[in-house]
Amino acid sequence: MAARFVYWMNVSLDLKIEYTAQENGGGDWMRINETLHREFNRRAKAFSASVEGSKVYEIMESYWPNVRSDESEPDVMREYGEIWTSSPKYLVSRTRTSADYNTQIIGENAIERLAEIRRDGSGDIGVGGATIATQLLQANLLDELLLFTHPAVLGQGRPLFDEQAAPVQLDLLEQASFSEGVTMHRYSIRHS
């Protein structure tokens, strides 16, 4: 059984993942409380590995390794720090030559290499980063979307995906509501 790529992301109602590039994945428009973060932790722990683009990886590596052992942080944050640092990761980067925290770098021929990982692997592999998610979608390798939608309309910013040549059909697999109006929708992608 092959692995499956799952692009998971916090999004606004207009499917933006950042209002400005300086938000680094944590804009004020997001409503992340302890209950929602526990759901993130549960989902992250279930992934057999993750694939991250350079920007997402660098944001994560600059923050989560320190949080995991910082007693001043809430336990939900320390738990996520431990999940992120210890889980297997694939960093898609043409510029990085080394990375810590159980990370393998994929430089050249990234999509071909990820296709092999999907074919030979097992379980769900989390995908972080719009650029790599778009490339996987265009290569017909992305299997699911897991979207945590926050009740905000940004009107500008980084979209969930880059432009597509054709519409992409989805099927709803799961949905849930959280406090403060945040909803979760998990979709399978219909492959052509």
Q: What is the pLDDT of residues 39-48, one digit of tens each?
A: 999 999 999 9
- Residue 66: the pLDDT is 96
pLDDT classification of 23: cutoffs 50, 70, 90? confident
Q: Give, for 44, the enclosing helix (H) or strand (E).
A: helix 34-46
Residue 115 phi/psi, 5-degree rounding, is -60, -40
| Residue 42: count of CB within 10 angstroms of its CB | 11
- DSSP H or E run through 59: helix 54-67
Residue 117 and residue 138: Cα distance in Å, rounded? 17
Residue 63 has pLDDT above 90, yes or no: yes
Q: For residue 18, give the 3-state DSSP assignment.
A: strand
Q: Is residue 177 very low, low, confident or very high in pLDDT (cuts 50, 70, 90)?
A: very high
Class of the domain covering 4-189: alpha beta
Alpha-carbon torsion 157, 162, 167, 168, what sign?
Answer: negative
The proportion of the chain whose per-residue pLDDT surpasses 90, expressed as a percent, equals 92
User: What does the domain layout of the chain look like in residue ranges?
Assistant: 4-189
pLDDT, one tens digit per residue, over 162-176 is: 998 899 999 999 999
Tell me the per-residue pLDDT of 118-169, one tens digit each, with 9 for 90 and over: 999 999 999 999 999 999 999 999 999 999 999 999 999 999 999 988 999 9
Token representation of residue 152: 């905000």
Given this model, what pLDDT does residue 21 score?
Answer: 84
